[in-house]
């Protein structure tokens, strides 16, 4: 009888914990990305794996061995290309990058989409204003991205002159922020 009571108490505690956790997540201000809510209480990877629009990015991050980095404390600002952004690359590019012999190149491209620190849209806009129309951001890979505005749209441009529009801003995470982009940006080759 005592063991049944202990089991019941444990089950009750388990249910309460997960019920409170689920209720807290429902109360969080989320942004929907790829058909899934992105919770500010979760880290970049925990959220990204739920977006149906970022399956290519998630696969690339896993292949590149960057999961632990993007689950760490950070903070990071991630410019996250959608599957459609990867589809804009020449045929076979993604498949080639995912091969073991191209690990370093894949890591460089992925970390080129990451800036150390948390930069929400308002921070980027302030930097653009301060920079008289352009804000230079140093990426984790050591390259440079330039942020700028065209009308009401916010863009980043890589070192090769390729521009990517930020389609969803301020997807806040426990360890930073994600901005969804429509084009893969590449470091100078």
Checking if the pLDDT of 17 tops 60, the result is no
Average pLDDT over residues 124-150: 96
In a domain, 126, yes or no: yes
What CATH number should be reported for the domain holding residue 159? 2.30.180.10
153-169 pLDDT per residue, tens = 999 999 999 999 999 99
Structure letter (DSSP) for residue 132:
T
Q: What is the DSSP string of 81-122?
A: E-HHHHHTSPTTHHHHHTSGGGHHHHHHHHHTTEEES---HH
Q: Coil, helix or strand for 140?
A: coil
H helix and E strand count, the chain: 8, 9
Work out how many domains the chain is built from and give that number. Answer: 1
Domain that holds residue 151: 30-181
Checking if the pLDDT of 115 tops 70, the result is yes
Dihedral Cα 91, 97, 102, 105, nearest 10 deg: 110
Half-sphere exposure of 60 (CA within 13 A, CB side): 25
In a domain, 20, yes or no: no
């Amino acid at each position: 009888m005592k063991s049944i009571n202990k089991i019941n108490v444990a089950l009750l505690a388990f249910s309460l914990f997960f019920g409170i956790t689920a209720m807290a997540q429902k109360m969080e201000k989320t942004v929907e990305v790829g058909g899934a809510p992105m919770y500010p209480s979760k880290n970049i990877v925990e959220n990204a794996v739920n977006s149906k629009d970022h399956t290519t990015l998630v696969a690339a991050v896993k292949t590149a061995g960057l999961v632990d980095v993007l689950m760490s404390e950070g903070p990071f600002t991630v410019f996250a290309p959608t599957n459609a952004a990867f589809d804009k690359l020449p045929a076979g590019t993604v498949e080639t990058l995912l091969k073991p012999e191209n690990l370093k190149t894949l890591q460089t491209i992925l970390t080129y989409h990451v800036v150390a620190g948390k930069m929400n849209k308002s921070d980027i806009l302030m930097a653009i204003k301060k920079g008289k129309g352009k804000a230079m951001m140093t990426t984790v890979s050591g390259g440079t991205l330039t942020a700028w505005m065209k009308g009401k749209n916010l863009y980043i441009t890589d070192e090769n002159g390729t521009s990517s529009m930020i389609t969803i801003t301020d997807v806040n995470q426990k360890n930073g922020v994600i901005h969804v982009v429509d084009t893969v940006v590449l470091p100078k080759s």
